[in-house]
Structure 1
Amino acid sequence: MRIFSGLLLASLALLQGCSSTQLSPTGEAVYYALQTDTTLRTWVDSCEDVSAKAKQAAYTAKQNWWQRNGAFVESADFGLAYDIIHVTDERNETGARMAMALTWQVVETAEAEVQELLNASGDKEDLCLRVLSQYNQGERDLRSQDKVYDSLVNLQRRLQRDGTDLNLKRASIEQKTGKVYGRSFYVVEKMAKRNGCAGAEVHLLKNAWPHEVYDARCPDNSYLLVRCEWGNCLVTD
């Protein structure tokens, strides 16, 4: 936990302004966008098992929210990745671990928040429907937050301008080091442990962020296949 937290702070520090304790407007926008998207996906995963009605509401909310906000999430993710890769330069493992730590922390925070609310609710279906309706109807849209909207728009412009440069830089680093890292590595480790596979050897099978596929080999020689999207991971049958 201490190592992850340190890497998280290092990642966010790349987006800080003059203050050593506060994120810059860009840093706030990046974290807010990624956290909001991950929290929605956590609600979707959690509510799908509550009832058929909640499952349908989850599917609709996810589709509609992403249609309106997906471009902002993509540009926020670009902003983080671009700054990490340029600050760490060719120290691929350093940048990769920073990105892993941030992804792990965002997912951990979302899971804790959603689980706490569900555990405290006497009617999980009603809670799911109310929260998912807020996402579906636009009440939790990223553009509704004036404080981060301008920064998200600027990040979209940066993505259009520098997106190719980021891809070339990534390819160059991977070619020089011969290493490819998955952002969801720590998330998969935790999920394997939760599914009775503590101490698993985790291997990245597909690296096409935001989509990743991992193989978690358990000590008893069984294995789990885990698919991830934007850091939200599920064990597949």
Structure 2
Amino acid sequence: MRSALAVLLTCIGLAGCSSNPLSPTGEAIYYALQTDTSLRSWVDACTGVSSEAKQQALMTQKNWWKRNGAFVESADFGLAYDLVTVTDERAETGARLAMALTWQVVETAEQEVQELMQNTSDREQLCRGIMTQYSEGERDLRGNESLYNNLVALQRRSQSQGKELALKKASVEQRTGRVYGRSFYVVEKMARRQGCPGAEVQLLKNAWPHEVYDARCPDGSYLIARCEWGNCLIAE
């Protein structure tokens, strides 16, 4: 998983030398986005275990985000800025990189959760232990001092270059007439799981980190997927 991510990050200028496939900035971005996505995947899994596990999971997520949310947003800014800067008018190339990176992070988190949930005899105890790690700060982004310093630097960049990023993105969209959704591949995968292979996926709402997709199936039925930071759910 990490090797595939390293190749993608290389394409957008976040890679280091061959002995260290990710630069410090790339490592910090991956670290923040992966930690946040893992928590979201655990919350989704644990909410179905019991009412107590659901309550603990939702409260843990809320409190963790209060402590770490600004750094997750800064990491996402760093990724978006480099994508739009490097790819510029090649909007489709940048969009596909963003889609692939979002899918990669979500896929890695889901696999971790699925494997651990399948291999335990007590899911409630497992959820309680994982949530305790998050609530007590063991998985806070401050845990890695060197990467934390890079997240602080990214936060400063987002504050000074945020308007510049918005203008660059608007310029690319105006020139190309295309708007892409980051969670496209995630929704495609979910549609297949729902018995809808070969779905025609269309973006209905693009307000990252919130997105809404329509997946139309070959049999004429359709699914609506709502996404937040790349974590998507099929609407009932």
* 2:77 is the alignment partner of 1:59: no
Gap change, CA 1:199 and 1:8, over 3 Å in 2: farther
| Cα displacement (A) at 1:7 | 8.0
Query: What CA distance in whole angstroms lies between the structure 2 residues aligned with 1:10 and 1:64?
Result: 32
Distance, in Å, in 2 between the alignment partners of 1:48 and 1:196 is 24
Q: Which residue of 2 aligns with 1:23?
A: 22
TM-score (normalizing by structure 1):
0.95
Task: Point out the more displaced range, 13-22 or 81-90.
Answer: 13-22
Separation of aligned partners in 2, 1:230 and 1:12: 22
What residue is the counterpart of 1:140 in the other structure?
139
How far apart are residue 47 of structure 1 and its match? 0.6
Letter aligned with residue 44 of structure 2: D
From the superposition, tell whether residues 170 and 154 of structure 1 become closer, same or farther in structure 2 (CA, over 3 Å): same
Deviation at 1:201, TM superposition (A): 0.6
Three-state SS of the structure 1 residue aligned to 2:205 is: strand
Paired with 2:5 and 2:219, the residues of 1 have a C-alpha distance of 32
Contact 1:200 1:219 (8 Å CA) reproduced? yes
Instruction: Show the counterpart of 2:9.
Output: 11
Does the 8 A contact of 2:209 with 2:229 survive in 1? yes
Mark the CA change 1:214 to 1:187 in structure 2 (over 3 Å): closer, same or farther. Answer: same
Report if aligned partners of 1:199, 1:219 keep a CA contact under 8 Å in 2: yes
What residue is the counterpart of 1:164 in the other structure? 163
SS in 1 for 2:203: strand
Q: How many residues align?
A: 234
Alignment correspondent of 2:123: 124
The reply to whether residue 102 of structure 1 matches residue 98 of structure 2 is no
1:84: which partner in 2?
83
Shift of 1:219: 1.1
* Superposed displacement of residue 117, structure 1: 0.5
Structure 1 residues 6 and 89 mapped into 2: Cα distance closer, same or farther (>3 Å)? farther
Instruction: Verify the 8 A CA contact 1:47 1:54 in the aligned structure 2.
Output: yes
Q: Report the secondary structure of 1:50's partner residue.
A: coil
Q: What is the match of residue 183 of structure 2? A: 184
Structure 2 partner of 1:113: 112
The C-alpha deviation readout for 1:102-129, integer Å capped at 9, x for no partner, is 0000000000011101111110001001
Is there any run of 5+ residues in structure 2 with no aligned partner, and where? none
Q: Deviations over 1:46-77 (max 9, x none)?
A: 11111111110110011000111000000000
Q: Which ranges of 4 or more aligned residues in structure 1 deviate by more than 2 Å?
A: 5-8, 10-13, 17-21
Aligned partner of residue 227 in structure 1, secondary structure: strand
Q: Does 1:205 align with 2:200?
A: no
2:153 corresponding residue in structure 1: 154
Gaps of 5+ in 1: none
TM-superposed CA distance for 1:199, in Å, is: 0.9
What TM-score, normalized to structure 2? 0.95
CA–CA distance in structure 1, aligned partners of residues 179 and 58 of structure 2: 32
RMSD: 1.6
Secondary structure of 2:233's counterpart equals strand
Tell me the distance in 1 between the aligned counterparts of 2:228 and 2:6.
20
User: Does residue 36 of structure 1 match 2:46?
Assistant: no
Contact kept, 8 Å, 1:7 with 1:98, in 2: the verdict is no
